[in-house]
Each structure stands twice: as structure tokens, then as C-alpha cells.
Amino acid sequence: MAEKELHTDYDMIVFTAPSGAGKTTVVKHLLNKYTEKLGFSISATTRDRREGEIDGKDYYFLSVEEFRVLIDEDKLIEWEEVYPGKYYGTLKTEVGRMLETGKKLLFDIDVMGAESIKEKYGDRCLAVFVKPPSFSILVNRLRDRNTESPESFKNRIKKVKREMTHEHSFDYVLLNDELEDTLRNAEELIKNHLS
């Protein structure tokens, strides 16, 4: 786990990674482990809901039209059209609501969104890049999901290649090779920043 010299007075902790690197698994584990200390920033998206996902818990699932209204009304801290017609973003109201609880706010967002949050909040935000063991392993993980068309998969791989070059933009790089080790390292990282 690579790290820069940092302070510990953070309101927000961002986990980011290319698709399939394991950031959501890490974030869910940390939320279960530190329920009393961490709150989750639920992102808004226009993508289709996957099996088992719950609106208002995993994401706020919106239509493209609803999302564009949020953009026009400046109600998002950050947003991106990740793929044509597939928007993701962070609601200002969500961040405000969670910070009022007194918990540290945990984000699970894509690389461009994480860079925007880090740029906006600076030293209030700890940013962690979850790195897959290799590009080929990541491609296999994505292929094994079997959740998209060949064209969509090809576009996702292009995006992954771009995102892999951004790891040095973040405060920590957390290698996700062996899941048990990754979760233990993530726990240690969070524990050090919860005091």
C-alpha cells in the first residue's frame, strides 16, 4: 500500500478504481466493520439497476431526463457521462445530509469523479485508489461478470486503460490481489484515520 504523508482530519474518504478492481467490495466491508463511524454517499446514476440493487441504498436510479435537470439546477458536486446516456454523479444534498450525522463520509465512485471530489475538498478528503493485480486479471473479472454487450464491454476496457494511468493522483494506492489482505489493509488505513 503506497501512501503520501498525510494528516488525519478528514470528513470524507473516497475509494476509487477502474470497474472490476474491487472498490465496492472494499467499501461494503468497511461500512459493515465501522458502522458507527462511517456513512455512505449514495451516488445517482442513469444506468440500469443490477439484480439485488436497491434504489436509495446502492444508488439513486434516475432517468436521463431527471439527471439532466440535476445538472441544469447545479445540484451535483460532480458528475460524468461515463458512457453515452449513462450518467453518474454525487448529489449536494446527499453529502450535506451525511456530514450532518458526524460520521466520516465514504464514497465509492469512478476515477474522474474521485479526482473532482479531491480537487473540490482538498485536505478534507482522503482519496484511495484500489489497484487490481494486473490489467489482464481485471479484464477477466469484468468478462466473468457477463453483464454487458460486446460493444459495451469494449468501451469499458478502453475506459479502464485510461483510468489505470491515474493511480498517482490519489493519496493511497491499495493493491487488491488477495482479498483478505486487501480488506485487512483497508481496515488499517481507515482505523488510522478515524481517530
pLDDT band at 157 (very low <50, low <70, confident <90, very high): confident
Q: Which residue has the higher pLDDT, 93 or 193?
A: 93
Residue type, 126: L
Number of domains observed in the structure of the chain = 1
Mean pLDDT of 44-60: 92
Residue type, 83: Y
d(CA 91, CA 88): 10
Give the pLDDT confidence score for residue 117 in this predicted structure: 93
- The neighbour count for residue 160, using CB atoms within 10 Å, is 20
Give the pLDDT confidence score for residue 73 in this predicted structure: 97
Give the pLDDT confidence score for residue 6 in this predicted structure: 47
Per-residue DSSP letters for 94-140? Answer: HHHHHHTTTSEEEEEE-HHHHHHHHHHHGGGEEEEEEE-S-HHHHHH
Closest CA to 18 of 114, 95, 89, 101: 114
Q: Which residue has the higher pLDDT, 57 or 8?
A: 57
d(CA 184, CA 186): 5
Structural domain span for residue 162 = 2-193
Task: Write out pLDDT tens, residues 6-40.
Answer: 445 678 999 999 888 889 999 999 999 999 999 99
Query: pTM for this structure?
Result: 0.85
pLDDT band at 2 (very low <50, low <70, confident <90, very high): very low
Mean pLDDT of 143-172: 83
The CATH number for 145's domain is 3.40.50.300
Mean pLDDT of 52-65: 94
Is the predicted pLDDT of residue 65 greater than 80, yes or no? yes
Give the pLDDT confidence score for residue 195 in this predicted structure: 61
The bridge status of strand 2-3 relative to strand 172-175 is antiparallel
Strands of 172-175's sheet in order across: 2-3, 172-175, 125-131, 12-16, 104-109, 38-40
Closest CA to 17 of 150, 176, 147: 176
